[in-house]
Amino acid sequence: MQQFDMYINGSPVQSGNTFDVINPATGQAFARCQLGDVSHVDGAVRAARAAFPAWSRTAEDERKQLLHAVAGAIEANMPELMGLVTMETGKPMGGLNGIGSGMEVGGSIAWTQYTTELQLPVDVIQDNDDARIEVHRKPLGVVASITPWNWPLLIAIWHVIPALRAGNTVVMKPSEFTPVSTLRFVQLASEILPAGVINIVTGGGDVGAAITAHPDIQKVIFTGSTPTGKRIMQSAAGNLTRCTLELGGNDAGIVLPDANIQDIVPKLFGAAFHNNGQTCAALKRLYVHESQYDEVCEAMTALAQNVKVGDGLEEGTELGPVQNQPQLDIVMDLAESARVDGGTFLTGGQRMDRDGYFFEPTIVAGLTDGSRLVDEEPFGPIVPIIKYTDVDEVIERANRNASGLGGSIWSSDTDRAAELAQRLECGSAWVNDHGAIQPDAPFGGVKQSGMGVEFGLYGLEEFTSLQTLKIAK
């Protein structure tokens, strides 16, 4: 079995205790990682703290060159990293609509390259006979990155590259379900970056909690569930540590009566089912006008029945397994509650009779708000299609949820759809699309989907604090 070490101060570290990483397509362990503890967290923070002065003062061009070299190392090791991502997450190498580990690793390269080229401008707000006043963006110090299991490598890149670009050093804690591609990435980056600039400790939530409570961490960037995000904010409060929190979503998609159903259904299906629904900004509640409800249900069901589910390492697989047993339990529990609520299972609804954590792609009709499957984030291959009659009312229903990550309006009239999209209470609103992200457009949630944004200059600024410099004349 392949073994992966932690990295602290540029060197591999073992703890003497290990945990196994399971391939969700087989249910079997395929890798072994180090179980870190508070002493490793302390060591990693100390190394990052010591590396901060030199890294933050490294010339911009040199920092950019080193980060481009990191992108190059990811690219040079792309097939290996794709294999690790597929084995730990279960997501296919290719995947539904090309959304799989190829996209995860390719996106990691693209995000690294784009973010590295970003420039934080100095803002001159006064320059006259009295004084010159400049506003600078300064790095914060040691940034902690805590990541989930659904897009482990890509999300780690989203955290770490802007943190480093802005001149911070980092301590990372990947999900205990999917640490290996992140560990391999840190190993590659450690061969390029100065010792202590990037550090990684592996283990469970206790390791994450030790990091967020550490007094020498200046900022936590966390992607994961809303309950864990709340715990992190409480823990960070002790030291007034800044937080960016990218949390759960329960995104609504609203199909207006004038939408061209045959055109949009493949996009709706992809938005809901790619990565088996295990994407924060996947479409999780599909509201369809009563005039087109049956047509949409029928077309979505046909796609669900024809999608190829299997081991992500096999060519042509579109959907893999649910990533872990606890998540499969959540999906099965929500399916059961949908049955009790009188939902009609148009297709699917059962765990698949094979090894691993496979669940049938499932579409449920006949439910409405108030059912758990509609109100809660399933984070799996099960989607409710909900009937509505009045557009104003459905916007209000979409907004009634505690989450506010993304939302979409589907219509042939894009002007009207854009107006309605702006009434959705969410960080990203799409017209005739859902879940589409790119490195230059800010992405983040409102309400209980979190605070702060990632990507582009807006995201980069979150890894800095403002310093006003006044030069009296």
Would you give the DSSP letter of residue 98?
G
Instruction: Write down the least CB distance from residue 6 to ligand NAD, Å.
Output: 14
Q: Which region among 217-225, 257-265, 304-312, 465-473 touches ligand NAD (by CB under 6 A)? A: 217-225
Q: Which region among 11-19, 128-136, 201-209, 314-322 touches ligand NAD (by CB under 6 A)? A: 201-209
146 binds ligand NAD (CB under 6 A): yes
225 binds ligand NAD (CB under 6 A): yes
Q: Which region among 51-59, 132-140, 222-230, 390-398 touches ligand NAD (by CB under 6 A)? A: 222-230
DSSP 405-422: SEEEEE-S-HHHHHHHHT
Instruction: Write down the least CB distance from residue 54 to ligand NAD, Å.
Output: 28
36 binds ligand NAD (CB under 6 A): no
280 tagged catalytic: yes
Token representation of residue 327 = 């998540």
Instruction: Write down the least CB distance from residue 398 to ligand NAD, Å.
Output: 17
295 tagged catalytic: no
- Contact with ligand NAD (CB under 6 A) among 154, 164, 405, 453: 405
- Contact with ligand NAD (CB under 6 A) among 246, 311, 461, 462: 246
- Site pattern 280..319 for ligand NAD (x: CB under 6 A): x---------------------------------------
Distance of CA 439 to the CA centre of its chain: 13
Give the contacts of 70 (CB within 8 A, at least 6 positions apart).
Answer: 112, 161, 188, 189, 192, 193
Q: H or E element: which one contains 396?
A: helix 391-399
265 binds ligand NAD (CB under 6 A): no
Would you give the DSSP letter of residue 380?
S
Residue 334 CA: distances (Å) to CA of 27, 31, 286, 316 = 22, 31, 16, 29
C-alpha 372/C-alpha 337 separation (Å) is 7
Backbone conformation region of residue 422, classed left if phi is above 0, alpha if psi is from -120 to 50, else beta: alpha
Give the contacts of 464 (CB within 8 A, at least 6 positions apart).
Answer: 120, 137, 138, 139, 140, 166
Q: Which is nearer to ligand NAD, 401 or 411 (CB)?
A: 401
- Contact with ligand NAD (CB under 6 A) among 148, 277, 343, 366: 148
248 binds ligand NAD (CB under 6 A): yes
378 binds ligand NAD (CB under 6 A): no
24 binds ligand NAD (CB under 6 A): no
- Contact with ligand NAD (CB under 6 A) among 159, 173, 289, 397: 173
DSSP 240-296: T-EEEEE----EEEEE-TT--HHHHHHHHHHHHHGGGG-STTSEEEEEEETTTHHHH
Instruction: Write down the least CB distance from residue 9 to ligand NAD, Å.
Output: 22
Instruction: Write down the least CB distance from residue 125 to ligand NAD, Å.
Output: 33
Taking the C-alpha atoms of 189, 194, 197 and 201 in order, what is their torsion angle to the nearest 10 degrees?
60
Backbone conformation region of residue 390, classed left if phi is above 0, alpha if psi is from -120 to 50, else beta: beta
Among residues 88, 104, 176, 246, the one annotated as catalytic is 246
Token representation of residue 467 = 């310093």
- Site pattern 420..459 for ligand NAD (x: CB under 6 A): -------------------------x---xx---------
Among residues 280, 318, 376, 461, the one annotated as catalytic is 280
- Contact with ligand NAD (CB under 6 A) among 112, 116, 212, 371: 212
Instruction: Write down the least CB distance from residue 414 to ligand NAD, Å.
Output: 26
Strands in 25-139 per DSSP E: 28-34, 123-127, 131-139
Residue from 195, 187, 180, 179 nearest 12 by CA:
187
User: How many residues sit close enough to ligand NAD to count as binding (CB under 6 A)?
Assistant: 30
Active site residues: 246, 280
Residues near ligand NAD (CB under 6 A) are 146-150, 173, 175-176, 204-205, 208-209, 212, 223-225, 228, 231-232, 246-249, 280, 377, 379, 405, 445, 449-450
